[in-house]
Structure 1
């Protein structure tokens, strides 16, 4: 049985750009979740879905025909501090396939064992973060947000030692590439212009085929990042760890570690347990994205030209992030209040609503869904201020059908994810399956309306963790 038709362009790059390394086999793999829709897009036949051959490949126990497993090299700024070598410490790029839609896609195992970039880590992941990434990345796909995707979660039958022993798991991630700002930083730090040139060509061929060089690549990256962050903001999403090694040059959401969707609206909200100073708070995400892009621009300078001309050109492009983000933000939030073509004057209307929500910590998702289906007045204690806003809003003649496509009814709330994880640890995947099903059509109210509920007192998850 041929599982995938691999065509591995990244592993044809110079071999110092990655390490050839195979996954480490596991003792007793079990397929817990398979994204059958995505599997078909990757060219898998239905009779392969539950085959032992597929299981062994997804567990890292076997190498599929045509696969050439590698770990990619990259560096990165972590919370502002530059680390010259990071790399795939617990991930293996099995290879690339051309999907049924004609798209070149990476297939990556995460939690599949140590690599030369593991930095004394065990290269493993435990079940909880694997299920979290599956749920959140697939929800983002359903929201229409550019993202990596999840193909499968396999239990390894082994324990992973963290603060305590935990059940091990491997998630299979699929993406249009895994080229990060940190990938460019790795070679810029080493003054390896040949590798930077090859990487630039690779990024253009994978993501921006109309680009004609490093300046075009930078401009395209600025635009896609600005649009992406605006979409995050419109969902109340907090990535949690926007290091440059987690910033994708093609504009994908990547690396779902301490990520979360807000319940009560708080612009300064932080979820990551290690973000003690709020660097990656909700409201800071646009500024951090621009900062990351400035680091990307710095990597490209040797390819652009002499510094006296390259720096002003690159600076102008990075500075274009701000107006592009503001336009995207206005478009995203305009649609959330029913305006397909929001005007600058509508920015105050949107901001006033967000200020009302923040003042009372009104649930972000419930508020916009209530605007879509009726009236959100019941969510506010200060009914007079809300009524005044509502009257102004109605004067703009919002369209419910626009809001229905912009405001999800259900999101992967932290307390529901934790509930699904705890049940799965006990061998019960039913809560995971129910949440995944609801999130596959997030703009429709689920049959189980409790999945739309905000957490009760004592249920709210205040912090999330890096764990995969």
Structure 2
């Protein structure tokens, strides 16, 4: 959706030998990676050194060769026994210091106090192809001191969904963590029913969250240590004060918040215009880098509803699609509140927070302009856009296909009109859209091609993920592999894969996801 967001996430695959970057040699074993763990350099109260608790008789269900290449692993390395050993929690990375981090957070708007990595183990960080560092984390690798009443495990169902979701978002160009491997076992895990265990190896520059800062709110010394760690590693540009900007420590804090606000605004704008619902936008699930993180009960919308709630556990609809921007801002306020202890004045912090809305609207309108095939945004386009959402909402039209088929609708409207149960209302909107296109006189074929590059054909619909889960439960990763290939380039039609771009089957209406995973 937004290539800038993907670049900023430092998680896009990079080419070697271009632009002065030296060749990045691929290694044949994960044990050849020289890991470190800079997070372990923080004071000991930030984490607990905790070895993973491996699964019994683990099996590698799928490995992501694209992400492996980003950290210097060849496809051969993914077939070695040591790769499974590391990704199943049986052995650490060479040089890594395995730990679980502590943080706090607001969950569904209520202060939850201390939380932490209740089922995640940070193995360490390794050099990345782009010159930075990427952390590897096991999700589902057993109980930690922060598990509370949990068992520290993840089930196959949710692990397949997370593994696929991060790659689907990367394919859309939305800032996200990534996934390296999916390991499964026959170990039982008790949820609403008895399920089997799995571990996802997640990859990110850092897993620090808003909630990490909240945990140390009001404690200047540890908060300063965390702030310096994050700024020095990920926001070093905030150390330099532009002419006329606030000097000193307060200026660094304000510039840091300014950048987190911007990244978060762009990320959420990309969510909205892809029809993506996070499901659990708690402050402990918000990345300090503006990455989509912690894929639990998420969902890409099928039939559009402005108040769509993808999480069955969200009974109040706090994290509905149309509330995601306001929740993101609310979460940013919680983050900013903790920064007062670093010497930033409340009014100055509030001023930076007030930049969220215009930044979000700019990114949102830029996305929608591209999705509509427009070269520029005009004042009257806001009404055209409002009418579009009303059309989709009133007719419960399919989100993805409504955008995709719009490219050819001005010249050949029949296929697009089939999506609407109110064709007359759809025709009226289409007439307005044609008038708007006529003001730019853009060649039709040029516009169509541009719209196809902005509107995906393939998204990770719930029923597609469910089909992959059912096959994976039989030990078969073929559906995962098919989806990975399609979702890496969701804008290009693949012959023979028409069913993956079709309207969801009737049985998909009964699917639901919740926080139980």
TM-score of the aligned structures, taking structure 1 as reference length: 0.96
**For residues 37 and 55 of structure 1, do their structure 2 counterparts lie closer, same or farther at Cα, with a shift above 3 Å needed?**
same
What is the aligned partner in structure 2 of residue 368 from structure 1?
Answer: 403
Counterpart residue number, 1:251: 290
User: Structure 1 residue 349 and structure 2 residue 404: aligned?
Assistant: no
> 1 CA distance for matches of 2:408 and 2:62?
33
Contact 2:61 2:184 in 1 (8 A): yes
Partner of residue 291, structure 1: 330
| Contact 1:3–1:64, Cα closer than 8 Å, also in 2 | no
Structure 2 contact 275–300 (Cα < 8 Å) conserved: yes
Whole-Å separation in 2 of the counterparts to 1:94 and 1:341: 46
CA shift digits 1:210-259 (9 cap, x unpaired): 11311111111111111111100001100000000001121000010000
Which region of structure 1 is more displaced relative to structure 2, 340-349 or 237-246? Answer: 340-349
Match of 2:349 among 286, 293, 314: 314
Aligned to 2:19: none
Decide whether aligned partners of structure 1 residues 211 and 83 sit closer, same or farther in structure 2, where only a CA change above 3 A counts. Answer: same
Q: Which moved more, 1:430-439 or 1:404-413?
A: 430-439
- Whether contact under 8 Å (2:61, 2:476) holds in the other structure is no
> Would you say the 8 A contact 1:42–1:100 is kept in 2?
yes
Classify the secondary structure of the residue corresponding to 2:203. Answer: strand
**What corresponds to 2:6 in structure 1?**
none
Q: Distance in 2 between matches of 1:246 and 1:461?
A: 27
Question: 1:136 and 2:165 equivalent?
Answer: yes
CA distance 1:172–1:415, shift in 2 (3 Å): same
- 1:56 is matched with which residue: 80, 85, 93? 85
Matches within 5 A, 1:154-169: 154-169=183-198
Q: Which of 385, 406, 409 is the matching residue for 2:425?
A: 385
Query: Which residue, 462, 473, 484 being the options, matches 1:425?
Result: 473
> d(CA) in 1 for partners of 2:397 and 2:281?
26
Counterpart check, 1:459 vs 2:508: yes
How far is 1:461 from its partner?
Answer: 4.4
Of 254, 274, 280, the match for 1:215: 254
How far 1:434 sits from its partner (Å)?
Answer: 1.7
- Distance between the aligned counterparts of 1:334 and 1:207, measured in 2? 31
- Structure 2 residue 187 is the aligned partner of structure 1 residue 196: no
Give matches, 1:92-111, under 5 Å.
92-111=121-140
Structure 1 CA distance for aligned equivalents of residues 232 and 368 of structure 2: 32
Return the match for 1:277 from 316, 329, 333: 316
SS at 2:92 equivalent: coil
Which residue does the alignment assign to 1:187? 216
**Match of residue 27 from structure 1:** 56
Q: Give the whole-Å Cα distance in 1 for the aligned partners of 2:260 and 2:186.
A: 41
Deviation of the 1:88 alpha carbon: 0.1
Aligned partners of 1:133 and 1:257 also within 8 Å: yes
**Correspondence for 1:435:** 483
Segment drifting more, 63-72 vs 202-211:
202-211
Q: CA RMSD in A?
A: 1.5
8 Å contact kept, 1:177–1:206: no
Per-residue CA distance 1:46-83 (angstroms, 9 max, x = gap): 33211111111110011221111011110010001111
SS of residue in 1 equivalent to 2:56: coil
Aligned-pair CA distance for 1:394: 2.2
Shift of 1:348: 1.2
Which deviates more from structure 2 when the two are superposed, residues 394-403 or residues 60-69? 394-403
Match of 1:335 in 2: 370
User: How many equivalent residue pairs?
Assistant: 462
For structure 1, list consecutive stretches of 5 or more residues without a partner in the other structure: none
Q: Does 1:416 align with 2:464?
A: yes
Give 1:325 shift: 1.1
Alignment check: 8 A CA contact 1:271 1:462 kept: no
Residues 146-166 of structure 1, C-alpha deviation per residue, up to 9 Å, x if partnerless?
001010000133121222221
Distance 1:350 1:16 in 2: 49
Instruction: Describe the shift of the 1:211–1:344 C-alpha distance in structure 2 as closer, same or farther (beyond 3 A).
Output: farther
Counterparts of 2:279 and 2:233 in 1: how far apart (Å)? Answer: 26
CA contact (8 A) 2:211 2:286 kept: yes
CA distance in 2, matches of 1:169, 1:122: 13
- In the alignment, the residues of structure 2 paired with residue 459 and residue 75 of structure 1 have an alpha-carbon distance, to the nearest angstrom, of 35
- Out of 207, 224, 232, the residue aligned to residue 205 of structure 1 is 232
CA distance in 2, matches of 1:294, 1:396: 38
For residues 106-145 of structure 1, the C-alpha deviation after alignment (integer angstroms, 9 at most, x for no partner) is 1000000111101031111111111100111100001000
Verify the 8 A CA contact 1:3 1:54 in the aligned structure 2: no
1:70 equivalenced with 2:99 (yes/no)? yes
Provide the rounded CA distance (Å) in 2 between the counterparts of 1:462 and 1:161. 20
Q: 2:435: which partner in 1?
A: 395
| Residues 1:176 and 2:224 aligned together | no
> Which residue does 1:323 correspond to in 2?
358
